[in-house]
A and B are shown apart, each in its own frame.
Chain A
């Protein structure tokens, strides 16, 4: 049976993993290759690296990070952050990544999804949607959740599947960092509107909430950041819990 995935997300700046809460008080958390190996050891099903350094230099160093990690850790690797063109995607894949996460670039120019899918394959295009509720609708946000777009997040999810995205990484801006749990309604609505896998992100504080995102939110995977980085849970703890609840886990 296909297992539900647990995916650690590591923020990288100038070649170092950093951790903080809501992009504030960033601390150095270590070397990306060492942390990738550690999470792999713990049973991570995939790894996601986000380049949060806005500079050209940070992106260049990210290429080396990808080269080094993919030579040591043999599980799928997704890379995102600041990707604007298909050529950026191609370079990161060539360095050893398996998938590319895009967000703002797709909202600015949806054609990048179909172009990327056509040249590189749908399987490597992860569409990241930062969604925030306004009234009774969710909207897709750009620029790291700072700027509201005109797109209804649910319609956007349907559109990106049609354009060729292979997976959706769905982040709830409302719940992000709150530890109050995932936005289950949002997750379920998106998951039931598309036939590509949906990765839930934003809001996890307890193991029960992760199970809820999978069981009620119908998420195919959960993405975790600070909860893992600050050592509150290990991937093994999470997997043991989910497995006891009857969730298929590797």
Chain B
């Protein structure tokens, strides 16, 4: 079973609908006890960095998510769920993220913010996550902040939006994407399928 962390922020339903469509069983989890029974964990997210960390803390989910990633169990962070893996964000100064990856989140300072729409990914490393997906494929993005990791070896793909920034990262069985695979048509569905079957 795939557990989708529900911390009361944003529209998480579309992630579940995509898994339903692909024929994978998933359910929302709101407490750490429910996480322990899962095989895979998805941390989705729309909203602000600080508010999301508050909600995760309030529901006692921080420890179990950190443990999950530290034990290298299958994990996928989506959009804000990617940013939360890092240490801090200029969106919410003073708030500590999950700090599973070293680095920070910064706000785009050029062009229109947030970035809304379809943009390409340039693959930097081979990954099972990209199986059957062409380099340069388009995915749907919706975000005002981007990650700046301290360790370059976690970067699996990059995207251009006034500057080049990492749009897919991974280490072991922990993966995170800045775009919304659940809203990225066939490429997005393929990526989710790859994650479940190959990652």
User: How extensive is the interface on chain B, given as a class?
Assistant: 20 to 34
Picked from B14, B138, B184, the residue with its CB within 8 Å of the CB of A70 is: B14
Known: A5-B117, A121-B46, A123-B116. A71 touches B17 (CB 8 A): yes
Q: How many residues of A contact B (CB 8 A)?
A: 29
Do residues A75 and B183 form an inter-chain contact, with CB atoms below 8 A? yes
Picked from A1, A71, A74, the residue with its CB within 8 Å of the CB of B185 is: A74
- Per-residue CB proximity of A222-250 to B under 8 Å, as 1/0? 00000000000000000000000000001
Do residues A123 and B114 form an inter-chain contact, with CB atoms below 8 A? yes
* Complex interface residues of chain B between 114 and 163 (CB less than 8 A to chain A): 114-120, 138, 140-142, 160-161
Picked from A71, A121, A197, A250, the residue with its CB within 8 Å of the CB of B116 is: A197
Known: A93-B11, A124-B11, A220-B112. A72 touches B118 (CB 8 A): no
Picked from B20, B47, B114, B138, the residue with its CB within 8 Å of the CB of A250 is: B138
Do residues B119 and A3 form an inter-chain contact, with CB atoms below 8 A? yes
Residue of A nearest to B142 (CB): A123
Distance in angstroms between the alpha carbons of A241 and B103 in the assembled complex: 42
What are the residues of chain A within 8 A of B140 when measuring CB–CB? Answer: 75-76
Distance in angstroms between the alpha carbons of A195 and B13 in the assembled complex: 29
Residue of A nearest to B11 (CB): A93
Do residues A96 and B14 form an inter-chain contact, with CB atoms below 8 A? yes
CB of B188 closer than 8 Å to a CB of A:
yes
Q: Can you list 20 A-B pairs with a CB-CB distance of less than 8 A? A: A1-B120, A2-B118, A2-B119, A2-B161, A3-B118, A3-B119, A4-B117, A70-B14, A71-B20, A74-B183, A74-B184, A74-B185, A75-B140, A75-B184, A94-B11, A96-B17, A98-B11, A121-B47, A220-B112, A220-B117
Apart from A2-B141, A45-B118, A74-B18: 5 A-B pairs, beta carbons within 8 A:
A71-B21, A74-B21, A74-B189, A122-B114, A221-B117
B→A interface (CB under 8 Å): 10-11, 13-14, 17-18, 20-21, 46-47, 111-120, 138, 140-142, 160-161, 182-185, 188-189
